[in-house]
Structure 1
Amino acid sequence: MRACKTICLFLLGAWVCAIPLDVWSKSKDKEPKVTELLQPANDMMSEASAAYIDGKAKEAIEGYRKALAELVRLERENPARATSSEFAPVLFRKALCETEIDRIMLEEMNATARTVAVTDTSTLAAKRAARKKEAETNNLPEVAVKLAPKKGEVPEPASDATADGKKETGKPVNIRSELEWAKDMLSVDRFDEVEASLIKVLKQDPENVDARLLMALSNVQQGKHRDALVVLDDLLQDVPDDESVLLLAAGCYAASGGYSRAMTTLDKALKVNPKRPDSYLNMAWLLLEMTPGKLDEPEMYYRQAVKLGGARDRDLERRLGIRPE
């Protein structure tokens, strides 16, 4: 019996030894899956995305460039597989890296241009002067026509003189021009000039919706959410179905901790215009802020926003656990 076992083991060993060496080498040198090859590039892209979300644009660009170099290396070292459908994920990631690099660089260029604009508003001033000239050309100046006094009558005193003897032109404010200037100044954070222009408008037209909304927006950009809400609450009494007012008010309520009022206001904005993606995107952020552990409902609102044409929000996607497609 023992001899039989010995013979069997000997035959088994002989059979194993008889297997050609190329079979062993093929098994050992089996090509890795594309998913395995992509792992380093995926890690680099994730790090680049995180750097961008943290506001580190240069690190993000560098990370995407490293990922792109890694993907190019994969193509170069696997020429036979690179032309097959198997390597489609590699091509997709290459295109994504290139797109992200261009997008971040463009954002940085715009930010730099905006920083310059904050200190030099000569271009905006020239634009305002051109608008003013155009308005003066299109509108004839108002001329006060007075009849000459009859013989023996005492002429009336000029109406453009105030009690202190100073002349007051009484020239009406060009509301459109002042609102455009306020928008220009708001874009470069010149809040004092924004307020000055808007006050001129509101003195002439206290109910002007655009001027009041811009005043609220100026307060929001300065972080004065409670001051903005004073204006917005008043606006909602006059224009309760204005989408822009509703969205800005919802944001202010949320920033002030009034999540319930923010949700009610967003619900109303959704009813006013069910096809506006901004409302769905804001609702996604609000729900995520209120209940960070529950992702289903925020994701539903976010996907609806994108479906309606809204821009993708990388930070929100990261928090919702949505992987780049």
Structure 2
Amino acid sequence: MSYATPSTPLRLSDLLEGQTANHIILAADELGWWKQLLGDAREIVPTTGLQRSLAVALHRIGWFEPTETGYRLTEPGREIAFNRGFIRVTTLGWEPTFRALATDSATADMIPAKTRPAEVACGCTDIAHRHPETIKSIAARIAADPAPGTTIDLGCADGGRMQVIGELAPSEQLVGVDIEAGVIEAARARLAQTELAERFRLRAGSVQPGGARPEWLDAEVRADVTTALTFFLLHQLATESGGIDKVLASWMDWFPNLRRLVIGDVVRAEGERWHEQPWFAPTFEFYHEVTGVKTWAEEEYTEAFAKTGWRVVEHHDADHEVFETWILER
């Protein structure tokens, strides 16, 4: 795999104006502009002075273009809207960790990950939704199963992935688990407004294997689960558990009726210098290096799947050059 190398490294102006651009992107996201413009809306119409200033800034950057009554996306703006989840994760979600570099690096070899969980959850959900065909393909396999079961999302964030699966697989029951109680409460409140509320069980707790089974894993959930999925989490769990295969084996013990696994994760990029790697890969790898979390090569995932008795029935890699999603069955 090869990547184009820019002729010049990052410049000071890239850093200064890029930071401002990040905050403008997130402000527009909070207003719902990106989602509207990627959806059915053809334009947005600012209604306040602050909104007009924001829209003008987005126009001056080159991501908006004016219409007779408001603004619409340019093609570069469409790319920004499509990838805004990455910006939320790195600018807000991981910001406490990057800030700690200055205070802890003189005395520590590594620092524990310090995040804003709600921002990470929101950003990861946006990233997962960039290619809805992947989630739809997962849901299609679940819906086609002759014996309906229960799907669990290990690290469910706001429950958005499970919501799509529930809509497309109407006979499936749904369980979501996330370590952050506040994230679960927000998901519960949001999903309570949907027709799927009665099919959801949401639990707060860790999905890290090791030691006693977690409290959320009661006998009913343990027996019910037939499909388990996790996104952007296995690399961290595998670091703490001593290998990808160790995590998979533990989940197989947790859920004795498990017949399908869906793994979505970031794989380690090739290229020694940042400019030799695809975008986001340097940030991802540096963040995990300073927090002591290993990044894993693609072949390490596939070897672990085979070792634990899983076969790959679908492989999706259109989402990003270093993002992979595997659907596994046995």
Which TM-score bucket, shorter chain as reference?
under 0.3
Greater RCO, CA 8 A, separation 6+: 2
Normalising by structure 1, we get a TM-score of 0.26
Greater strand proportion: 2
For the pair shown, the structure with the greater C-alpha radius of gyration is 1
